[in-house]
Chains A and B, each alone.
Chain A
């Protein structure tokens, strides 16, 4: 509690709104466009998506691609969007909750929960829906461990999720002696969850869409959007991410809300585990941690999608657009280069985009007082 101290000016700020409105009216169109691009992340992403798609289509038309970059291809590529966007939502919620919120353990949860799913559905013969439910719950509990460490005990999120990353990663391998589970039911899962299907009614004019989009991505997207934009819990998350001292003074249960964010992240990771098992037709112990792991792309999506690393700012639409941008960009790169150069250049593109997005965030913050 402070009463005015020397460090605060006694003079109140005059009403700035009139001045701001005046300035807005006088701004010429090009400057307005630039400002919208820099401060409205959605706008920027949408523009970039269009540019990327046009770019690759033009390349294709001029014969530079190994296959056609057409709507069918773009639609099929969306299979990769499913786990990516879902983990992007997970990171969104955690980063939104503020206090340095981040979750490095999502990939490890995917691996461990995936193995649980493999046991439940692939070996013990439980019904699919039960297995999926159990997997999600397991994911939620694993995430709750993070939540307790961060919100109740006070570990920095980076440390807590780093530790659980190590722990869960090793458990995933140990639990089945490093063997994947690829029994028959698991293999059949590809057909039921990952294959592309023709859309009803409009299917003849529109490319086939991977099932995963409808089974997993869209429901998760809707639920997360509803959660953040329409529920009291979502408001609490934004509140604690914006100013958790003011949240406390507003009678918001800061610790419970924050722990919940990590639990939800774990739950979503559990669902991603099911998606991944279906996509590879096998429950692999290194599913979420192979290569660079799944956490890094998810966090990249979040930052690209306009999430503020300090919390309180971020939207589902940003995540979705950022995912679509990355997926279609990667898809184009794969066609534009032969052999391994494709995946390699995807890395470069991702890295450059991230640095660019971060610098942009910083610049927009200084120049316009924020990007959203």
Chain B
């Protein structure tokens, strides 16, 4: 994007250097410093792993890694928007349980429906759950963390009721195109990942280039000022949680597609993994600032670490340790940057 401008007096010494007459940027750069660092770190990690374990760079290890990124990154899109508005959603783990058990047990096993039907139902269920959160938070005017702690319990109850204390077995492979297997890949790339990237790109565009998208940032920055400026705060907040719910529904189909069994602890702890990905990706937990690209990279980093730990033969739980350290470093770097900036 460029416009023609005539140069004016450079009266003020502050601000970035001007570009030459004629072309110049109208938006902040699409990739932030934090994201570049993440890309660098991931690249370095991959290089190290490729070096130390030759098996790493084979399709049989890259493909599952990339496929495992998909559900976390997908839900992360919604969580990014939620956190940008200054909220949070700790119920997504339980919501995954609800959507996946309904899809697996009711739609596939019992009713034997087809993939499109399963997809639609899962997304709708997820959307309803997200809608509940959105209504309570936007109109109930209560802190998001408390409400979603509560709805997490309620969703889990719903899921367990449907599970009826047994693992769901013999799930037909209707959803295979979304899974980890050969049917789930196109040209070697897992479909779930492709879908995730496409949706992430759409979200990225929406957040950057539409008024509605920018309004999320305003709400997180200063909710009152946003309201005074004419932003429809409540509707936007509702939309953020609704979006997250819809994405949970979609991601749940990826989860169901990954096997022929579904255990009752599906989704357990996933909310923390999603939040970790968002935070590592550079989105500020206090709101007003964030990026979907960072979230996808964050999810990729977390899964790379997990995969690397397994490949190196270390205990799988060590990956949690590294996630914790990554969070500290990522947020710490962010804090440092803020502090040097606010010196003015």
Contacts and interface: CB of A to CB of B under 8 A. Distances in A.
Q: Do chains A and B touch in the complex (CB under 8 A)?
A: yes
Interface of A: 102, 149, 153-156, 158-160, 162-171, 173-174, 177-178, 291-293, 296, 299-300, 303, 309, 339-341, 344-345, 347-348, 350-355, 358-359, 361-362, 366
13 contacts: A154-B339, A156-B286, A162-B279, A166-B272, A166-B276, A166-B327, A170-B320, A174-B321, A178-B315, A292-B152, A296-B152, A354-B150, A359-B140
Interface stretch (B20-28, B154-162, B199-207, B288-296): B154-162
Contact of B149 (A174, A299, A340, A348): A299
Interface residues of B, number: 44
Given A178-B317, A344-B160, A162 B276 contact: yes
B99 interface: no
Given A166-B320, A167-B320, A167-B324, A355 B285 contact: no
A164 B335 contact: no
A249 B253 CA distance: 55
Interface in B309-329: 315, 317-321, 323-325, 327-328
Contacts of B155: 351
Interface of B: 88, 136, 140-143, 145-147, 149-157, 160-161, 165, 268-269, 272, 275-276, 279, 285-286, 315, 317-321, 323-325, 327-328, 331-332, 335, 339
A42 B295 CA distance: 43
A156 B136 CA distance: 24
Contact of B142 (A168, A345, A347, A362): A362
A170 B319 contact: yes
B154 A348 contact: yes
A170 B325 contact: no
A359 B160 CA distance: 26
A344 B97 CA distance: 14
B142 A359 contact: yes
B290 to A, nearest CB: 14
Given A350-B153, A352-B150, A355-B147, A159 B142 contact: no
A102 B143 CA distance: 13
Nearest to B161: A344
Nearest to B315: A174
Nearest to A308: B143
B151 A169 contact: no
A205 B145 CA distance: 45
Nearest to A168: B324
Contacts of B315: 170, 173-174, 177-178
A170 B157 contact: no
B150 A351 contact: yes
B151 A170 contact: no
Contact of B323 (A156, A166, A347, A354): A166
Closest 8 A/B residue pairs (Cβ) = A351-B153, A166-B324, A167-B324, A354-B150, A170-B320, A355-B150, A351-B154, A348-B157
Given A155-B332, A163-B324, A355-B136, A347 B160 contact: yes
B274 to A, nearest CB: 11
